[in-house]
Amino acid sequence: MFSRHLRLFLSTAALLLASWSAQAAQATVAVAANFAEPLRALAAVLEKTTGHRLEIVVGATGRLYAQIANGAPFDLFLAADQATVAKAESEGLTAPGSRFLYATGQLVLWSARPDLVDKQGQVLRQDGWRRLAVANPRTAPYGAAAMQTLAQLGLTQALAPRLVQGESIAQTYNFAHTGNAELAFVALSQVLEGGRLKSGSMWVVPAQYHEPIRQDAVLLKRGARNEAARALVKLMQSPAGQDLIRSFGYTF
Amino acid sequence: MLTPDDWQAIGLTLKVAATTTAILLVLGVPLAWWLATSRSVWRHPVGALVALPFVLPPSVLGFYVLVALGPNGPVGQWTQAMGWGLLTFSFSGLVVASVFYSLPFMVQPVLTAMQSLNPRALEAAATLRASPLDRFFTVVLPLCRPGLIAGVVMAFAHTVGEFGVVLMVGGNIPGVTRTVSVQIYDHVEALQYGDAHRLAALMLAFAFCVLLVLQLVQRRATGPRP
């Protein structure tokens, strides 16, 4: 009698467990630092609606690529540019045909001080600040866009002695947030909260100053059949997902 | 073989390490002597404080240095009040961080040497009316020479090998804070594996030579005298 109940209980539990694990998968997502916050918001939506869970690895696009090329166990790669993703594709690291544009980024000049940055970015030509932080242009596309902006403004030479580099856009923001650098070129997504500037002051860099920051995503070989990774891709391409991405200051 | 940037990084690294070692020699040797001879209740807490970098991750030290030296940190406010500006992202800031980070590597070998001194040598010097300062320079330091050499070599080498702290407070400025270890990291991130290999191999050879020299020094100190 007792053992029959136990058997019934165990088989039901096993059945439930099996169906749950078939539904709720887990994926590891490598994401460029600028998109870390939006991805966390997307992951929360994904977990609530499907039960799928995401492990999130944040870094500079170049570093993440180097890790992927050396066998890092990632399922999905959200880069801050298109070139790096194209390179991963040509090296056969990705699931064929899975590449897509998931956002176009917006560069801003930001300061933790509420009165420092004006609406035209004239502060770059003035005194009253010591350090300007940019992400390493060799590895971070937002850093490359920042350097293009300085070149367009004709300030590359003049400001070179005041530049400091963060190894990713996250560290760059951190330098400005602690006030160690008064100014920083960062992603709009980092300084927005609920569609509004969190704190400090900023200049939204006009599009003509740099190449557009088109950001591609791609399923990696390992993630080709991963349910959670595929569900995230679907969410990011849905109108609701794109609205969420837009609310962080991105366009398409 | 190496790029001009690499040479700049090497030059800077040697400059940081030499400056740090010089400061540590001035600060660390008296500190070690105090730790070896003091009977103060503070000697154990101070000893623990000095040894902290042995076990603390560089990210902890880097984080505190970044916040403390920043415009809102206590040290940052003081340096600004003194008219020196902020130390973050500067050569001086890097040296300040390195002094903390390499302190136990100087103090520990010197302290060990001082603790194993034969007290009779000091007593003999005292009966010959040598002043305490005199005894320190003419008896203690010469007898502790192997420990001093080990301290200098380890402090220098450890500063050369510093990475995490530099990454967190340096800001990667060529010629100012971009040291060899950061330059290697940069090459790897940018997938310039060839450049990374050349510098990395150089560091490996340097570290090996340092440890080899250290072994020879210690062997001469403890081995049979000619």
Chain segment A140-184, per-residue pLDDT in tens: 899 999 999 999 999 999 999 999 999 889 999 999 999 999 999
Most B CBs within 10 A among A165, A171, A174, A185, hence the mutation to make, goes to A165
Please state, in angstroms and rounded to a whole number, the distance separating the CA atoms of residues A213 and A252: 10
- Write the residue in A139, A166, A179 that is nearest to B190 by C-beta: A139
Please state, in angstroms and rounded to a whole number, the distance separating the CA atoms of residues A46 and A41: 9
Number of H helices, E strands in chain A: 10, 12
Taking an 8 Å cut-off on Cβ atoms, the answer to whether A133 and B186 are in contact is no
pLDDT tens profile A87-130:
999 999 999 999 999 999 999 999 999 999 999 899 999 988 99
Write down the pLDDT at residue A218.
Answer: 97
pTM (whole model) above 0.90: no
Task: Measure A209 CA to nearest chain B CA, in Å.
Answer: 24
- Write the residue in B66, B188, B189 that is nearest to A180 by C-beta: B66
Task: Measure A231 CA to nearest chain B CA, in Å.
Answer: 30
Q: Is residue B83 situated within a structural domain?
A: yes
pLDDT at residue A14 is higher than 70:
no
Write down the pLDDT at residue A8.
Answer: 60
Write down the pLDDT at residue B119.
Answer: 81
Task: Measure B70 CA to nearest chain A CA, in Å.
Answer: 5
Q: Is residue B225 situated within a structural domain?
A: no
Most A CBs within 10 A among B172, B183, B186, hence the mutation to make, goes to B172
The pair of structure tokens assigned to A100 is: 């897509």
Number of domains in chain B: 1
Chain B residues closer than 8 Å to A175 by CB: 171
Under 8 Å CB-to-CB from A239, ≥6 apart: which residues? none
Among A193-197, A225-229, B4-8, B101-105, name the one with the lowest average pLDDT: A193-197
Write down the pLDDT at residue A252.
Answer: 87
Write down the pLDDT at residue B131.
Answer: 83
Write down the pLDDT at residue B226.
Answer: 47
pLDDT at residue A4 is higher than 80:
no
Q: Assess contact for A54 and A98: CB atoms under 8 A.
A: no
Under 8 Å CB-to-CB from B217, ≥6 apart: which residues? B146, B149, B150, B153
Write down the pLDDT at residue A209.
Answer: 95
Q: Assess contact for B13 and B179: CB atoms under 8 A.
A: yes
Q: What is the mean pLDDT of residues B48-63?
A: 91
Q: What is the mean pLDDT of residues B43-67?
A: 91
Mean pLDDT score across all residues of chain B: 89
Chain B residues closer than 8 Å to A185 by CB: none
CB pairs under 8 A between A and B: 56
DSSP 3-state of A134: strand
Number of other CB atoms surrounding residue B2 within 10 Å: 13
Write down the pLDDT at residue B134.
Answer: 85
Interface of B to A at Cβ within 8 Å reads 66-67, 69-72, 85-86, 88-89, 167, 171-173, 185-186, 188-191
Confidence label for B129 from pLDDT (cuts 50, 70 and 90): confident
The ipTM of this complex is 0.76
pLDDT at residue B124 is higher than 70:
yes
Q: What is the mean pLDDT of residues A5-25?
A: 60
Q: Is residue B110 situated within a structural domain?
A: yes
The pair of structure tokens assigned to A11 is: 């088989």
Taking an 8 Å cut-off on Cβ atoms, the answer to whether A62 and B191 are in contact is yes
- Write the residue in A136, A166, A179 that is nearest to B71 by C-beta: A179
Write down the pLDDT at residue B70.
Answer: 87
Q: Is residue B188 situated within a structural domain?
A: yes
pLDDT at residue B83 is higher than 90:
no
Q: What is the mean pLDDT of residues A29-39?
A: 93
Taking an 8 Å cut-off on Cβ atoms, the answer to whether B167 and A136 are in contact is no
Chain A residues closer than 8 Å to B186 by CB: 136, 138-139
Taking an 8 Å cut-off on Cβ atoms, the answer to whether B89 and A65 are in contact is no
B197: domain range? 4-220
Chain A residues closer than 8 Å to B88 by CB: 180
Task: Measure B173 CA to nearest chain A CA, in Å.
Answer: 6
pLDDT at residue A20 is higher than 60:
no
pLDDT at residue B223 is higher than 70:
no
Please state, in angstroms and rounded to a whole number, the distance separating the CA atoms of residues A184 and A23: 43
**For the purposes of burial, counting CB atoms within 10 Å of the CB of A77, is it exposed (0-12), middle (13-18) or buried (19 or more)?**
buried
Task: Measure A68 CA to nearest chain B CA, in Å.
Answer: 12
Please state, in angstroms and rounded to a whole number, the distance separating the CA atoms of residues A180 and B87: 9
> CATH no. for residue B117?
1.10.3720.10
Task: Measure B106 CA to nearest chain A CA, in Å.
Answer: 30
Confidence label for A13 from pLDDT (cuts 50, 70 and 90): low
Mean pLDDT score across all residues of chain A: 90
**What are the structural domains, with CATH classification, of chain A?**
12-104+213-246 (3.40.190.10), 105-209 (3.40.190.10)
CA atoms in the 13 A half-sphere facing the CB of A74? 27
Phi, psi for residue A220 in degrees, rounded to 5: -90, 165
pLDDT tens profile B163-221:
988 988 888 888 888 999 999 998 888 778 899 999 999 999 999 999 998 888 877 76
Q: Where are the alpha helices (DSSP H) in chain A?
A: 2-23, 36-50, 61-69, 83-90, 141-152, 156-159, 169-177, 188-191, 227-237, 239-246
Taking an 8 Å cut-off on Cβ atoms, the answer to whether B70 and A136 are in contact is no
Taking an 8 Å cut-off on Cβ atoms, the answer to whether A180 and B188 are in contact is no
